[in-house]
Amino acid sequence: MIWRPNPHHAKANPDMSKSELDSALQRWQERGLISAELAESLRSEHAGRLRSGRRRFLQYAVAGTAGILLVIAAVTFFAWSWPDLGPGVRTFVIAGAGIATVLLGMRLEATRRFVPVTYALQTSGLILLLSAFMYSMEAWENTTAGGIVVGLLALVTPAATIPVFVRRNPVMPAVSAALGYVFVAAFLFRAFDLDADVIIWILDGVMVATLAVLGLLLYAGRAESVSRPALYAFAVSLYAGYPMVGMTAVGPLELDDNALLALDAWLLVVTALALWGIHRAPAALRNPRYGYHLAASVLLAIPLGFGTTLEVFEMPPLGAAAAVAGAGACGLWYGLARDARPLVLCSCAAILSAAWYLGVDAGERLGTVLALAFTAILFFWVATRLGRTPKS
């Protein structure tokens, strides 16, 4: 009997490469599990999906670059030109350009075409709007009537846009949540002219409150009610914690080099939450794609590991390299056991960084050669582990 599955089942593993699918289809066809016609149909469908995925990635990359260029061009042009216009008029023009860009992105999004471009347009528009609020200082000083109005508009912007974005897609609410901290800072600065340290403390409180509320919503959510926008906003707020923790440690707390310890602690929090999401979260939230966050944690551990061991604890180069390599080894062990390829690659990068640093610090050709040779042997071993096929 020939098995005739639904061709759409080829979408079950979107990360499967064309060569992997060709090998699987050939094996199934030789065993009589599928017909030649079905194999060709699955092969064509998957090839089209891969082409679509590559186009979508390129769209995101090019659209993101275009969005950044748009913001830079607009701010530069408005600041350099129009010498006959007052700063108030310039502020309105920049704000109008931002609003128009957001609306254009939302209009194009409704057509369901060029989705990455629409996200870039909407993000660029929000950044232009934020630039207008800060540029308005040239027209109205802080705590004046105009400054207070601008500050209130900055506070209202994320509160007004996030509910609209939530009903449309899961990406823009996360972007608005990230930019929301900057909008709140603009409100505090323009309306109250608060000291930078005070603003940082208030933003810390906003971030903690946001994480607490979103965390409770996600933890209590059921499979049919878990909100992807809430999940994305939670992740974005976690990553916003890195600059917030760093600014708090360097600014109000004046920890100097010890600020790295605060960043290390936040890195452990993000890593622990990613592991919890993979293994212990409610079924509706459990997702192996949280491995990407583990991979990001390993990458961040490279500069933080070197900085903490060398600057804070003043360890010798061997100890610093051992700490970074240890983080890479832990990620490598976990990634190999679960076939988490991004984590394996990032862990290899951590080990390679440690070996290269140790070899260069030795100041001798022999030390460099030995360090790199050991790393090469380790990577050959990793390659053999990746090449193993599970026993049936």
Q: What is the average pLDDT across 122-134?
A: 91
Mean pLDDT of 346-358: 86
pLDDT the model gives residue 228: 75
pLDDT at position 6 is 43
- Which is it for the CA torsion 22, 24, 29, 35, positive or negative? negative
Each residue of 75-106: pLDDT tens digit? 676 566 656 667 788 788 888 888 988 998 88
Place of tokens 């323009």: 190
pLDDT digits (tens, 9 = 90+) for 300-317: 999 999 999 999 999 998
Chain segment 29-67, per-residue pLDDT in tens: 777 777 777 777 777 776 666 666 566 666 666 766 776
Q: For residue 362, is pLDDT > 80? A: no
DSSP symbols for 164-227: HHHTT-SHHHHHHHHHHHHHHHHHHHHHH---HHHHHHHHHHHHHHHHHHHHHHHHH--TTT--
What integer pLDDT is reported at residue 365 of this predicted model?
Answer: 57
Contact 70, 100 (CB under 8 A): no
**DSSP category for residue 290:** G
Question: Mean pLDDT for the chain?
Answer: 80
d(CA 34, CA 39): 7
Please report, for the chain, the start and end positions of each structural domain, with discontinuous segments joined by +.
28-194, 200-286, 299-387
Specify the pLDDT at position 295.
Answer: 93
Residue 388 — left, alpha, or beta (φ > 0 → left; ψ -120 to 50 → alpha)? beta
Q: What is residue 310's DSSP assignment? A: I
pLDDT at position 121 over 70: yes
Cα separation of 272 and 284, whole Å? 18
Distances (CA, A) of 101 to 137, 179, 270, 289: 23, 16, 34, 32
Cβ(87)–Cβ(136) below 8 Å = yes
pLDDT score, position 54? 61
CA distances from 201 to 181, 207, 231, 370 (A): 12, 10, 25, 48
At 56 the pLDDT is 62
Answer whether 94's CB lies under 8 Å from 128's CB: yes
Confidence (pLDDT) at 147: 92
pLDDT at position 23 = 75
Confidence of residue 28 (pLDDT cuts 50, 70, 90): confident
Tens digit of each residue's pLDDT (9 = 90 or more) over 239-279: 999 999 999 999 999 888 889 999 999 999 999 999 988 88
| Residue 222 pLDDT | 52
- pLDDT for residue 93: 83
User: Is the separation of the CB atoms in 175 and 122 below 8 Å?
Assistant: yes
Average pLDDT for 161-188:
89
Q: Within 10 A of 285 (CB to CB), how many other CB atoms are there? A: 17
